[in-house]
Amino acid sequence: MEIPLQGFTPKDLDKIKIKDKDNHIVAQIGMMVTLYLENAYEKQCRLAVGQCIEEYMALVRPHLKRYGGEKLGVRKFSQTPIQPLAEMIEPLNERQFFEIIITGSETDEESSPYNVKTLLEGKRSYKEIGYLSATFPLAFLEEQPGGFFQQFVHDWCKRLSPYHGYGGLGLIRSVYTGAARRAEPLVYPLIRRFPGLEIDMPHSHSLYCVEGIKGINWLTMLSDHFLQKLGGKAALRAQLDDDFIFYDYPGGVMIQAGPFPQIGDMEQGNIPKQYQKLYRLVKSVQTDKLKHIIVEVPEGVNAKEFTKWWLHRFE
């Protein structure tokens, strides 16, 4: 899968490693996808998520080191083989949540480009959404056939019918919240400069993306719920040129903005034009409830103001 990036090669980006004072690699650039899911309490949805995770694991198994969750603790693959996910999911009732985190990192503090995780909330009297998220290093994707990432994401969409979601270049931090938060002041300069980089913490962001989408990236998933608010899929398609590819899935569509993911560069006034065009068409269904895209910001930076700028960076 060729990934040409203006001014940068994938090898250039793979070399970007953000380190903390203890020399831990706390962030790096890779490809990521996050799908937000309605009715995540339903067993059929949960079993499908489990199948997706196991397929990801089969692709990158030699790189995976640990797994866990709130109920599991943290375990090493080398010491405790992971139980088939269907066996974890089957006993759960609709009011119980399901969580699994699988990573290539050997410590909580460090980032790995190999991660897959999900949190599927139990049924509540109010609406909540679950998520499934995965990451890959650019070097791994360069070794795959053309269109691999798009097909991988589309296959997930066809099985899971996401409510909304996004996929593209992202800044990958630790899968553990505390460590990811501690890295935020260090990654701020990168996400301020490169608009194509997703910054993600879906277990937190999902709380504020129930009524609206978080945003767009190279791949953007929109369910019929949002397409109807935008005038329908045909109306949206009519406003976009051949730079955009539509991939249907049951209950929605995945939109690819341009032939390749783009990183952009605010210092050069470079906002990816396809991203900008798509964003302007769908911004009316974007959430206005997400107040902190990151919490721990450098001194002198207002987190709420930065979040507002970041959410509208493709304006």
Q: Which backbone phi and psi does 88 adopt, to 5 degrees?
A: -75, -35
pLDDT of residue 72: 83
CB 36 within 8 A of CB 162: yes
**Is residue 260 included in any domain, yes or no?**
no
Cβ neighbours of residue 246 under 8 Å, at least 6 residues apart? 233, 237, 253, 254, 255, 256
pLDDT class for 1, splitting at 50, 70, 90? very low
- 193 inside domain: yes
Number of domains in the chain: 1
Assigned domain for 223 exists: no
Residue 137 has pLDDT above 70, yes or no: yes
- Average pLDDT of the residues in 294-315: 93
Tell me whether residue 219 is in a domain: no
pLDDT digits (tens, 9 = 90+) for 46-92: 999 999 999 999 999 999 999 998 778 889 999 888 999 999 999 99
Tens-place pLDDT, residues 196-247: 999 999 989 999 999 999 999 999 999 999 999 999 999 999 999 999 999 9
State the alpha helices, DSSP H only, in the chain.
10-14, 43-60, 85-89, 138-142, 148-160, 177-182, 184-193, 202-205, 224-229, 233-238, 273-282, 303-311
**pLDDT for position 6:** 55
In a domain, 237, yes or no: no
Does residue 62 form part of some domain?
yes
Residue 247 lies in a domain: no
Q: Contact, 135 vs 30, CB < 8 A?
A: yes
What is the distance between the alpha carbons of residues 113 and 28, in angstroms, rounded to a whole number?
7
Rounded average pLDDT over 272-293: 96
pLDDT for 10 equals: 75
Tens of pLDDT, residue by residue over 142-188, are: 999 999 999 999 999 999 999 999 999 999 999 988 899 999 999 99
Instruction: Tell me whether residue 86 is in a domain.
Output: yes
Which domain range does residue 110 map to? 10-208
